[in-house]
Structure 1
């Protein structure tokens, strides 16, 4: 009798949770889409010959514990200040010294939202893409904050992400998702549907235009030095594309990246720097091929458990044609969201860490890998 009871108990304790799990799966409304075929292609064509695979080695940390998740950074050459947006709503200014311990950090303006992308207007303004507020113009040395735009074609921005200002004053920016907000970032990445847009705002006419839509998490954006192209990133597709402003035509700029691109910055020296918050992992590739895996991950994420780990973050240096030049990365790093080259240093922001990472690339350069 005890053996029979034990067998029944084991059977029930196994089958019942299984049936409950199936029921929960069927009832959950999250519906991930099949990923585009090029989303899980793998290639070494984007891996340059110059590598620094110990990016953390020699790195210094600015504002440790004070700069809370500084997602993007922008360097103002005239003042020598770095502007960055933090998770607590503050746009902070950083005066960097030779020693990172002597850096001065100032709470400048609080947007009341989540400032992400930052750039400078042609009249000294600071332009902020706030994930929750929309596109903002901060002027008068922080005394005035103006909301420029919150929607286009009747559709509100749900995750205003990155912004760049052209020489003629036009603002180019991305709305990463018209469905999910920043707190739902995991769901956006797991659903794999094209809710992103590339847009422009003309401060003279006050017109917001949709340049491209149906983009897969439209992220970082910059403008070519000749002002003819916008370069923008689609994070889950591991690629950046360029949009010809005059011809309104789009083409691939760089693809098959070794990680998922976030922000992209032009350094004024003929190179772009692409931040990669995570390298490509086996788990991500498996989840891309099988939507049911992404649904399971999304169901677990609702309870605060993130199964899609991010590792091996880094930055890629490419030339004006998108050809990879150097790759700085480290298996122990994650969530590097932006990279700006200032002098001999790389300055990197993060969507997770509470500091700006600085690396002297003359002292710790990317080099050809020894065989």
Structure 2
């Protein structure tokens, strides 16, 4: 059976697509409610009939994504309505992060609560060690899916094209881990996590400081990925054309002056960051810079030098000063962003999750 939606397209829309859309609409409505919401209120918010909402809610409860709480007793007239809420044990997102000197993993439930978190020091992190770290999460939580944060460039099919500081090129993460996983740049995932924490539609650059330096760019509430998905490589902006050699093959890259191995020279690192960030602000008209990774805790030491360069170099600095702040989620931002991307996918498309063959990450 098919139906047509007036004004959307001349092509027919299958009934299954309408159901998938409505399942997501109901689940998002419950997820966005600050308190348990009744079926009747869900109907009013979504514009769906009560009968339709009731059927969809039943499916979401049966699939483990929603729970229905008994109504609280009250003395007034009328029968109190039961409240719908996300099921804290209904679906989990597995967030993984491989970086140069550590591995990290966390499991997050539908409401965004971290249920388990592990961080291990690991020299030149590798995917075999990541698989061992992830295995208890897969066994104990049966996550809906997994996402991996890496300090490198990732293609649309999940291939890690190049990660200079890990010495990787054309690495198939899913094959190496032994289970399905989506892959993204760690700064992009951290920026998305910061975006969710901030709310609204802000514009900012998230700068991640580790051995390398990466950035996630958010414009009007949307992550900017670039034409091929490779934006944000701020660590390879040139701050000294004849400067120190970089692992990427060029000279004078920012990460050689402000990466973890150079951060002991705080004033020099702050100056280099200020120079690079001034160019980004002039180009994109950003009003906020968020420092993450090793930079967050060092903000008091880095701030004077960065702000000095921003005042000196940003054309509009006297008209609209740029806000500089530490990341709200600290060093966990990338792996949390990875886990949250799984949860967001479930909430945006519960129909796919409810299919028996994909309801849980397969080893």
Relative to the length of structure 1, the TM-score reads 0.28
Give the number of the structure with larger relative contact order, counting CA–CA contacts within 8 Å between residues 6 or more apart.
1
Relative to the length of structure 2, the TM-score reads 0.28
* Higher-helix-fraction structure: 2
* Higher-strand-fraction structure: 1
Whose radius of gyration is greater, 1 or 2? Answer: 2
